[in-house]
Amino acid sequence: MFGRTGIDINTLYRYTVNMKLKFTNNCNLRNLDHFLSVVDISDPSKLEILTDTRWINVHPAGLAFAAALAEIAGKSNSTIDENTSKSGAYLDRMGLYNFLSTPSPFNAWQTESAGRFIPLTIIKTQDEQTRFVTEMTPLLHLDKERSTAFRYVLGELIRNVIEHSASSRGAIVVAQYYTRKNKISIGICDIGIGLKSSLGHLHNPSSDLKAIRLALMPGISGTTLRTDGNAQNAGAGLFIVKSIARITRDYFFIYSGNSSYKLKKHDARHSPRINADPFSDPHIANENLPDFKGTLIGLDITLDETAEFSSLFEGIKEVYSRAIRERRKREYRKPNFI
């Protein structure tokens, strides 16, 4: 049983011997670590989802996580309470009920998804990844050049997640575009071996948080010790999306094992700086979460055409190249006793 010091768990829900989580009206990316801190995943044989009876507000990362837990327990063993408020129609339209045995009461709420959202989708193959990234284009509301760049970044991110998971189950992805804020929110979750195990046989991180730190650094790969990864995996996906969130003053969140890393928004009075080391960015790290054997990623991207946004990818390219050069120099200077 897991909890977070200072949070009255009993006011949220009563624990049982199966997996349990609760969607409230505050499950946004900024508070995702609090949402996860009171999730019970101690027994994977059954999942019960509870919801606030008044209204709910769930980030796509929360949806992806819930769907992943349902995949672990199995559809027949996964339920959601039947007293979900009318705002629970969002859960239905985003496809969560497809992972649950509870029938949806919101069939009349179906709406057109094009240009607005992509419901929960399981990606296992390259073709499925390509299809999802292609469907992302209308959500980006950008010109062709920038859309192509974002599609490449998202494709890299999804591929990295699937490769690190070492799981035949693939990854669960979901995306939502918010017109008023001109923002896209993305959730990606796998139910694989977690970052610590994925990076362990080559980089040997001593904790889940150190594994997250390594995974967010450019040039770190789980498949090779080469400082620039290889042609198919240069360890760039997570670094790039973290950098995008940094430039656009948005949140980025990653959770694996018992740890999470949350990128905080920078002060708008100062221009953001892209750092190769994620711990050099303003962030919150947590090592007291339920031990999840997989990886969850949440991302917000504001698509406003600012000068910083326009120069985004040049800046990322520069920092990535510099980090690789510096790491190569350090390894070149190491004594070789062979």
Q: Which domains does the chain show, CATH number per domain? A: 1-111 (no CATH), 117-338 (3.30.565.10)
The C-alpha torsion from 204 through 205 and 206 to 211, rounded to 10°, is -150
Burial 277-287 (b: 16+ CB within 10 A, else e): ebeebebeebe
Mean pLDDT value across residues 210-237: 63
pLDDT confidence of residue 239 = 86
pLDDT confidence of residue 320 = 56
Whole-number percent of the chain with pLDDT over 90: 41
Mean pLDDT value across residues 249-262: 95
Mean pLDDT value across residues 120-129: 92
Lowest mean pLDDT of 26-30, 150-154, 189-193, name the range.
150-154
**pLDDT interval class at 13 (50, 70, 90):** very low
Q: Among 229, 212, 223, which residue's Cα sits nearest to residue 327?
A: 229
Mean pLDDT, the chain, rounded, equals 81
Mean pLDDT value across residues 138-158: 77
**pLDDT interval class at 321 (50, 70, 90):** low
Q: Look at the pTM and tell me if it is higher than 0.85.
A: no
Span 181-223, pLDDT tens digits: 889 999 999 988 999 998 887 788 999 999 999 999 887 754 4
Evaluated on CA atoms 94, 284, 190, 15, the torsion sign reads negative
Burial 154-181 (b: 16+ CB within 10 A, else e): bbbbbbbbbbbbeeebbbbbbbbbeeee
Q: Quote the CA–CA distance of 301 and 160 in Å, as a whole number.
A: 19
Burial 32-54 (b: 16+ CB within 10 A, else e): bbebbbbbbbeeeebbbbbbbee
Lowest mean pLDDT of 36-50, 211-225, 272-286, 287-301, name the range.
211-225
What is the residue whose two structure tokens read 């992509």? 118
Angle at 38 between CA 33 and CA 44, to 5 degrees: 110
Mean pLDDT value across residues 261-287: 87
pLDDT at 281 over 50: yes
Span 58-116, pLDDT tens digits: 999 999 999 999 999 999 999 998 777 777 888 999 999 999 999 988 865 555 555 68
